[in-house]
Amino acid sequence: MSSRLSLRLSRLLNMVPYLLAHPGISAAEAADDLGVTTKQLMSDLNQLWMCGLPGYGPGDLIDLSFSEESIEVVFPAGMERPLRLTSTEATALLVALRSIVEMPGMVDPTAAHRAIAKIESAISGTDRPAPTQRVPVEAPAVATVRAALADEHALRLVYYSASRDEVSERIVDPIRVVLVDNNSYLQAWCRQAEGVRLFRFDRIEEATELDEPAQAPSDAAADDTAFDLFSDDTDLPLARLRLRSDYAWVLDQYPMERIESAADGSIEAGMRYASADWMARLLLGFGTGVSVVGPPELVDAVRDRADAALRAYAAAGLAGAESA
């Protein structure tokens, strides 16, 4: 069974209990809760309408009364309760919950730990509460972002941009929380940049929920260009770097683009940067593993910082300063 069909089957099997618990819910609200489009939900309801117990007579099929305004379950055909998790499914769910609970902004940590405790209790087959675990304290800025998303309100962020090495303040219209390369981000429409941007949670220094609705363009959520964290901004200067062969790993850790490889195994690469001062500090941290080819102003910035460091070492009387 394909993953898509498996996901749909799981959704269909749990949809009847969900709808019984939310009588009269609108299609839009149900679709939002179930993580599908309204069109997909209506298709699922039509599929359910043709399902039921063996015999498949009119009295055996699931009976629904539904429109986009209201959904009612008339006859559940024995599907009043969701399916029980198998031990494998429960274990997989626990692993997933424990993973995302450590990611800021992904879930409410208190609710996640309650869910973990209930699943562990169900797996053990006892009603005894699980041992009390320390629930991570959620940073105030993270809690504010999650609240603004739930309220569909705009946010004022104080944000540290690592690539520009600066802190800025901006107004954003939050769209959703996403996970990219093991880091959690707020995807939002940035009014200053007039585009969709990703804001890494651990770099949001302050967040203030504004008393105004979020006003992201209707097509902003479909804009996946923001997920390319290493997109090439041609407005920024390009550093030309030479990486020693044993420093090829740097290409995987930083937004660099390979330009050419030399016979000795070294690699020439390019990397955009906004601040020469920040870039110089980054490059000096690699020691002799990464050298600067250009542009000249960046070469000068790296040389000046290296000379200043050597003078500081010499002034401190540290051995090896002269030979360095």
- Domain limits, the chain: 3-75, 87-124, 140-227, 238-315
Q: What is the pLDDT of residue 136?
A: 65
Among 33, 44, 42, residue whose Cα is nearest residue 4: 44
Q: What stretches in the chain show pLDDT beneath 70?
A: 1-10, 52-60, 78, 80-85, 125-136, 162-165, 181, 221-235, 318-324
148: its two tokens: 């603004």
Residue 236: DSSP 8-state = S
**pLDDT tens digits along 46-92:** 888 777 666 666 566 788 888 889 998 888 776 766 656 677 777 87
Virtual torsion, Cα 153, 156, 158, 163, nearest 10 deg: 70
Q: Kindly state the DSSP code that residue 49 receives in the 8-state scheme.
A: T
Largest CA distance in the chain: 93
Q: What is the pLDDT of residue 181?
A: 64
CATH numeric code, 3-75: 1.10.10.10
Strands (DSSP E) contained in 90-244 are 153-161, 166-180, 183-190, 195-200, 204-213, 238-243
Check residue 154 and give its pLDDT.
94
Helix (H) or strand (E) holding 26: none
Query: Looking at residue 62, what is its pLDDT?
Result: 80
pTM: 0.49
Q: What is d(CA 211, CA 209) in angstroms, rounded to the nearest whole number?
A: 7
Strand spans (E) along the chain: 63-66, 71-75, 153-161, 166-180, 183-190, 195-200, 204-213, 238-243, 257-261, 267-272, 290-294
Q: Nearest 5°: CA angle at 118, between 133 and 185?
A: 70
Residue 15: what pLDDT?
83
Instruction: Compute CA distances 126 → 97, 134, 207, 255, whole Å.
Output: 21, 22, 42, 50
Q: Which pLDDT belongs to residue 322?
A: 47
The H-or-E segment that residue 101 falls in is none
Measure the CA–CA gap between 308 and 324, rounded to whole angstroms.
12
- In angstroms, rounded to a whole number, what is the distance separating the alpha carbons of residues 51 and 60? 8
